[in-house]
């Protein structure tokens, strides 16, 4: 019997907005296809198990939780995650987990805020040094080619329902395993704003309604060799085509399968379309 093993990173600290729903969604969609599923909760003491998983999931957390887990990630899990990324092992990293796979998370001081420009700031990155005890500086794993800035109370928090249009290359992958749905929906709640490094990888989608990575360039998330990063919560529940993308890639890598058994997703698609309609039409009931 086929088996897919899912790693759930730091479940007690990095699941602040119900990201366990992503775990449950994958588990059920795998089992509905007659495939055995194992969920491994990966914390600080069982890193070695991370080397033998088929899908990797990580949710969001506040700055305090991110600062706690990042040292373990840097010291014990970075190499394993880098190798998984290089092999094309599928993964989904939401919100705080998404930020931690970038280069760093940095709260701007007043002087930096007055002169901040993403393009100019990128030039300083090679010499950027973290100041101990300063705000919530958090180094990242540098798997995703991006960094996150926090403007403090100088800019509003990015909160609300969001609809994005899937980028063309990822859409091609989605079309192989799903009906041609071109949108992603979810809920975002983040203070950090994430910027891409120049000419690196692809965003997950273009923002139609909502904030996305930074509220400026209309991008949301990232697609990087089957690792997905996103600010969207309720993600796989409302976007079954992305759940099946992760499952299909896991089956392809482990068993060489290029096709995935279809499911009756009529209820899931009703949910997706209802959320999209409510967001785009600004329903008073939403």
Residue range 180-233, pLDDT digits in tens: 899 999 999 999 999 998 766 689 999 999 999 999 999 999 999 999 999 999
| Residue 193 is labelled as binding a ligand | no
The answer to whether residues 181 and 269 touch, using CB atoms and an 8 Å cutoff, is yes
pLDDT given for residue 179 in this prediction:
85
- 103, 233, 241, 272: which one is catalytic? 233
Q: Which residue has the tokens 């891409």?
A: 196
Q: pTM for this structure?
A: 0.93
Summarize pLDDT for 65-91 with one digit per residue, the tens.
898 999 999 999 999 999 999 999 999
Is position 106 annotated as part of the catalytic site? no
In this prediction, residue 131 has a pLDDT band, given cuts at 50, 70 and 90, of low
Question: For this structure, is 103 an active site residue?
Answer: no
pLDDT band at residue 134 using 50, 70 and 90 as cut-offs: low
pLDDT value at 142 more than 90:
yes
What's the Cα-to-Cα distance from 93 to each of 10, 30, 112, rounded to whole Å?
A: 12, 19, 28
| Structure token digits, residue 31 | 């089992």
Options 95, 150, 190, 241, the catalytic residue: 95
Q: Give residue 15's pLDDT.
A: 87
Domains belonging to the chain, first-starting first, are 3-280 (3.40.50.880)
pLDDT above 70: residue 254: yes
Hey, what are 82's tokens? Answer: 């880098």
- The helix/strand/coil state of 176 is coil
């Amino acid at each position: 019997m086929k088996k897919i093993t899912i790693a759930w990173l730091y479940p007690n600290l990095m699941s602040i907005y119900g990201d366990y729903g992503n775990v449950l969604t994958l588990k059920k969609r795998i089992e509905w296809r007659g495939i055995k599923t194992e969920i491994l909760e990966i914390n600080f003491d069982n890193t070695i198990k991370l080397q033998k998983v088929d899908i990797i999931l990580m949710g969001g957390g506040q700055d305090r939780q991110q600062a706690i887990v990042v040292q373990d990630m840097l010291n014990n899990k970075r190499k394993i995650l880098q190798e998984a990324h290089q092999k094309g092992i599928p993964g989904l990293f939401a919100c705080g987990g998404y930020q931690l796979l970038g280069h760093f998370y940095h709260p701007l001081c007043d002087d930096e805020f007055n002169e901040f420009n993403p393009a100019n700031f990128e030039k300083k990155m090679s010499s950027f040094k973290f100041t101990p005890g300063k705000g919530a500086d958090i180094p990242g794993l540098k798997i995703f080619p991006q960094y996150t800035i926090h403007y403090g109370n100088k800019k509003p928090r990015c909160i609300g329902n969001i609809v994005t249009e899937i980028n063309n290359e990822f859409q091609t992958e989605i079309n192989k395993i799903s009906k041609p749905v071109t949108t992603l929906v979810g809920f975002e709640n983040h203070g950090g704003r994430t910027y891409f490094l120049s000419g690196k990888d692809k965003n997950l989608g273009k923002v139609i309604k909502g904030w996305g990575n930074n509220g400026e360039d209309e991008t949301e998330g990232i697609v990087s060799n089957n690792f997905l990063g996103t600010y969207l919560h309720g993600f796989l529940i409302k976007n079954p085509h992305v759940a099946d993308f992760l499952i299909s890639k896991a089956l392809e890598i482990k068993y060489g399968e290029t096709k995935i058994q279809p499911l009756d997703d009529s209820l899931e698609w009703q949910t997706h379309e209802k959320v999209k309609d409510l967001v785009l039409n600004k329903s008073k009931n939403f």
